[in-house]
Homo-oligomer: A and B are copies of this chain.
């Protein structure tokens, strides 16, 4: 996450259409120990520092039941990232590869996803471990880790569908 605004040798910037196909609302804010991108971890670790996810009203009621899950998937908006580099050089060595084969914050839609360990719920706040984002990062969504979640709703025909599509 060192990149500020440069384009490095070998990288490719594109001119993209305006990002107006869908709109996001920030539903909370993430508090971490990392105030700038030069100090953020490259990847979160489950024994990393406790961070605080603050959920705003009117979405606090959506937390009901979340403490049943030890691991939560967090989606957040990488608000300091440029969005136009389709090929990037993480080592700044002239060798570039596609953004979709990297977990770089520089993406056409800069959304970070992380699995975190839920330590504690304190009202509208969740204390978690495993994050790697900047202090103040906007929150987009929280979901139970798919590995821990069994759908409650009735099954549908697609649930039993295997093999190739007709």
Query: Lowest 9 CB-CB distances: which A-B pairs, in order?
Result: A65-B101, A64-B98, A41-B158, A19-B23, A90-B152, A90-B153, A42-B151, A65-B97, A14-B58
What is the 8 Å Cβ interface bit string for chain A, positions 81-103, against chain B (1 contact, 0 not)?
A: 00000110011000011111111
Is the beta-carbon distance between A164 and B49 smaller than 8 angstroms? yes
CB distance from A33 to the nearest CB of B (A): 4
CB distance from A25 to the nearest CB of B (A): 4
Number of interface residues of A (CB under 8 A): 92
Question: Is A50 engaged at the interface, CB distance under 8 Å to the other chain?
Answer: yes
Is the beta-carbon distance between B98 and A66 smaller than 8 angstroms? yes
Question: What residues of chain B lie closer than 8 Å to A21, measured between beta carbons?
Answer: 23-26, 77, 138
Instruction: Tell me the bound Cα distance from A163 to B48 in angstroms.
Output: 5
Question: Is A125 engaged at the interface, CB distance under 8 Å to the other chain?
Answer: no
Is the beta-carbon distance between B24 and A19 smaller than 8 angstroms? yes
Among B16, B25, B34, B151, contact of A17 (Cβ-Cβ < 8 Å)? B25
Question: Is A4 engaged at the interface, CB distance under 8 Å to the other chain?
Answer: no
Is the beta-carbon distance between A91 and B153 smaller than 8 angstroms? yes
Is the beta-carbon distance between B23 and A18 smaller than 8 angstroms? yes
Question: Is A120 engaged at the interface, CB distance under 8 Å to the other chain?
Answer: no
Is the beta-carbon distance between A20 and B23 smaller than 8 angstroms? yes
CB within 8 Å for A156 and B39 given contacts A25-B21, A108-B25, A111-B111 = yes
